[in-house]
Amino acid sequence: DQQVKQNSPSLSVQEGRISILNCDYTNSMFDYFLWYKKYPAEGPTFLISISSIKDKNEDGRFTVFLNKSAKHLSLHIVPSQPGDSAVYFCAAKRGANNLFFGTGTRLTVIP
């Protein structure tokens, strides 16, 4: 059951540059998408979300883009900072239902 996919298991970026994390989904009924950040030995921490009625949501250094026709979303972090190094999970849901998570992308920001 791979309804949410993150095809890049890892990404390395220089400090100050842009980090782009990608996510694809298969279920067209999903209406809400979220990005979570996870450090080792901690639970996922909510980062940013987007409703399916929007195509962009911005919060400080973080922007999420949604392309519904392509069933694709991406998270942009700019400028990237060493403290951003973590595993990033894309998640999706329909209504009040549970979250479907991707497998995660490990981001390493190199100082």
Partner 1 sequence: EPEVTQTPSHQVTQMGQEVILRCVPISNHLYFYWYRQILGQKVEFLVSFYNNEISEKSEIFDDQFSVERPDGSNFTLKIRSTKLEDSAMYFCASKLAENNEQFFGPGTRLTVL
Binding characters for partner 1, 25-64, by CB under 8 A (x = yes):
-------x-x-x----xxxxxx--x---------------
Listed residue (32, 24, 20) closest to 2, CA to CA:
24
- Shortest separation between residue 99's beta carbon and partner 1, angstroms: 6
Burial 29-60 (b: 16+ CB within 10 A, else e): ebebbbbbbbeeeeebeebbbbebeeeeeeee
Does 97 participate in binding partner 1 (rule CB under 8 A)? yes
Interface ranges with partner 1 (CB under 8 A): 32, 34, 36, 41-46, 49, 89, 91, 95-104
